[in-house]
A and B are shown apart, each in its own frame.
Chain A
Amino acid sequence: MANESPASVNRTINRETRMPPLPVRLIRGEWRHLLRQRELLILALPAMLMMLIFDYLPMIGNVIAFTRFRYNRGIFGSEWVGFRNFEFFFTSQAAINITRNTVLYNLAFILITLVVALTFAVLLNELPRKWAVIYQAMLFLPFFLSWVVVSYVTTAFLDFRHGYANQLLASAGQSPVRWYFEPEYWPYILNIVHLWKSVGFSTLVYYAGIIGIDTTYYEAARVDGATKWHMVRHITIPLLMPLVIILFILALGNIFRGDFGLFFFIPNNSSFLYGTTDIIDTYVYRALTQVADMGMGTAVGLYQSTVGLITVVLANWVVRRVSRDYALW
């Protein structure tokens, strides 16, 4: 190095300075790529625009959470209030109530559906295929109804004056119940309605998993004199486990996200029931449409999305530890 003559040093410096500075070179390089692949980029444009408008702009719009939002002043003209919306929400009784409801209902849905659907799928597999298909179609039917339609079904049962449930109670000599005013029944009602609507779908998913199991396992077991129960216990269940675990963890990842239709339409948005039927999603909807407290509505939504993101990332991390193949990323 010390032997290098000043002239040669000068020459290398000169060569470098003749080239444009690094950022310019990067931009030019990128521009060349853009030009070369412009066709694909143009094809991607509609989707990119859709995402920019309907996903990424609202994400930026989350700054509403830090303002006292006024329609006439717009997002950036409204008064800046820092974390006051969050403070207001988290010190209220509602914060605990709706978070608890959302999480507990989701947990119950996950566990009950898992147990019932898995049992159904295993039992269906014991029947000839022809029958399994027929029963499955029956189980699946409620899945095709929207929650609005299901809410008519539930009022047919729970209506105070004409409902079928109160008629049954009357014929059993009991006094009728004002279902839409009594919160203590709703954890059961919502679980039953949810199971009724969703069990067919989950059963079909598990049944498809069971059918996918290599039949030679069962043949070998039969040769060895295994009973049906042995086969279920030692072949079907273990081989279905990866699918069960993945669906379970994925569902856990969404545990802060409630099914709005179920919790809004089925209890008829009855304010007497909020103690046991109000979830984060319905709370935000009411903040928007009934109270018009946009700042707080956004704050609660942002809280939900953030906690949701954390749980999905955690869930995925767990899946990766169980099996890389099933991880989302």
Chain B
Amino acid sequence: MDSHYNPLFPRLIHALFISVSILMLMPMVLIIAISLTDETTLLTEGYRFIPSQISFDAYRVIFEVPQPILRAYGVTIFRTVIGTWMSILLIALTAYVISRPRFRYAKIITVLIFFTILFKPGLVPSYVLITQYLHMKNSIWVLIIPALLNPFLVLVMRGFIQTTVPEELIDSAKIDGASEFRVFWQIVLPLCAPALATLGVLTAFYYWNDWWLALLYIENPDLTPIQLMLYRIQSRIDFLSANPELQLELGITELPSLSLRMAMVVVAAGPMMFVFPFFQRFFVRGITVGSVK
């Protein structure tokens, strides 16, 4: 087992990780391969990694009628950009307030925040509240507001402020007559830039990939984000292929073709696969910073 004596050992590790990497990538390659396969070939041969008949028809269809997917992209981009900005501001602001050592209510607010991590409000009461009392169903804001305040990230941010922003700096600014908000805006925020970046990546990733809020509260096709659009396509296909008689009744003769479905996934999920990996380290920082109370 010793690499000093056995030069084979590192090679074995390489071999292991090369095969694991292939296993990791294979499923995604299969999706791309299907999206590039000719439709009749798919029907006769099934899904193959190496298509015997390549065709770009699926992509052509998508780009000829791009409105639905562009619309979905628009909704997703809107909620991600607006949601991320609002969320980091709110989180940082709250973290600043509860990190003040002489603030009398810091402790009780912290406990209130922390308790929401421990005891989750149930799905059904939240649903009743949002749909019956707040009337937020089918509003773009239901995709943003309920997820704004992530209690875990508030506590992470509080820890960061406590360890990196010197208390003397804040005190001297206050002696010079700066208001609390000004201290937060002009001293604390700039000093927290690295933490804010981590927060921003985590939050943007959440908003981009989230389907949960949309699944519960969005029925309007114009407000459907990408993730939900993909789910709706999938479930409609499942439903219609399980009830062929309905298909005739509704006059739907053709389901989206097999290659078209996969092309949709590639177009919808693909671009971010080139963006998020660059921020890989932020995800780990999020959890390791979190372990520092």
Contacts and interface: CB of A to CB of B under 8 A. Distances in A.
Contacts of B90: 46-47, 50
Interface stretch (A16-24, A86-94, A152-160): A152-160
A47 B125 CA distance: 20
A213 interface: no
Highest count of chain A CB atoms <10 Å: which of B43, B93, B122: B122
Contacts, number: 268
Interface string B79-118: 0000000000010011011101001110001001110101
A189 interface: no
Contacts of A118: none
Chain A binding surface, main DSSP class: helix
A127 B120 CA distance: 43
Chain B binding surface, main DSSP class: helix
B227 A146 contact: yes
Given A46-B90, A246-B291, A40 B122 contact: no
Nearest to B232: A148
Given A44-B94, A64-B128, A39 B179 contact: yes
A108 interface: no
B124 A301 contact: yes
A149 B284 CA distance: 23
A82 interface: no
A268 interface: yes
B25 A58 contact: no
Contact of B24 (A151, A196, A287, A301): A196
Contact of B123 (A126, A147, A151, A288): A288
Interface in B121-162: 121-129, 132, 134, 145-146, 148-149, 154
A196 B122 contact: no
Contact of A297 (B21, B114, B124, B276): B124
Interface stretch (B27-35, B59-67, B191-199): B27-35
A126 B124 contact: no
B146 A138 contact: no
Interface in B10-60: 10, 13-14, 16-17, 20-21, 23-25, 27-28, 30-31, 34, 42-43, 46-49
A153 B181 contact: no
Nearest to A165: B47
B184 interface: yes
Contact of B180 (A39, A201, A284): A39
Given A43-B184, A297-B124, A227 B25 contact: no
Contact of A126 (B9, B118, B134): B9
Contacts of A48: 109, 112
B24 A64 contact: no
A188 interface: no
B103 A40 contact: yes
A227 B262 CA distance: 49
Contacts of A308: 118-120
Given A54-B146, A61-B121, A126 B126 contact: no
Contacts of B47: 156, 159, 162-164, 167
A40 B180 contact: yes
B234 interface: yes
A156 B31 contact: yes
A172 B28 CA distance: 24
Nearest to B149: A50
A138 B126 CA distance: 38
A312 interface: yes
A141 B277 contact: yes
A279 to B, nearest CB: 13
A146 B273 CA distance: 11
Nearest to B181: A43
B125 A62 contact: yes
A298 B125 contact: yes
Contact of B122 (A44, A62, A205, A312): A62
Interface of B: 1-4, 9-10, 13-14, 16-17, 20-21, 23-25, 27-28, 30-31, 34, 42-43, 46-49, 90, 93-94, 96-98, 100, 103-105, 109, 112-114, 116, 118-129, 132, 134, 145-146, 148-149, 154, 179-181, 184, 205, 209-212, 227-228, 230-231, 234-235, 238, 258, 261-262, 265, 268-269, 272-273, 276-277, 280, 283-284, 287-288, 291, 293
17 contacts: A48-B112, A51-B112, A54-B126, A56-B121, A58-B126, A61-B126, A64-B128, A126-B10, A135-B20, A156-B262, A162-B42, A162-B46, A205-B288, A285-B123, A294-B124, A306-B119, A308-B120
Given A164-B48, A167-B46, 15 more contacts: A37-B103, A37-B104, A44-B97, A47-B90, A47-B109, A135-B17, A138-B25, A148-B211, A149-B227, A162-B42, A208-B284, A294-B128, A297-B122, A297-B124, A301-B125
Which 3 residue pairs across A and B have the least CB separation, nearest first?
A61-B125, A301-B122, A58-B121
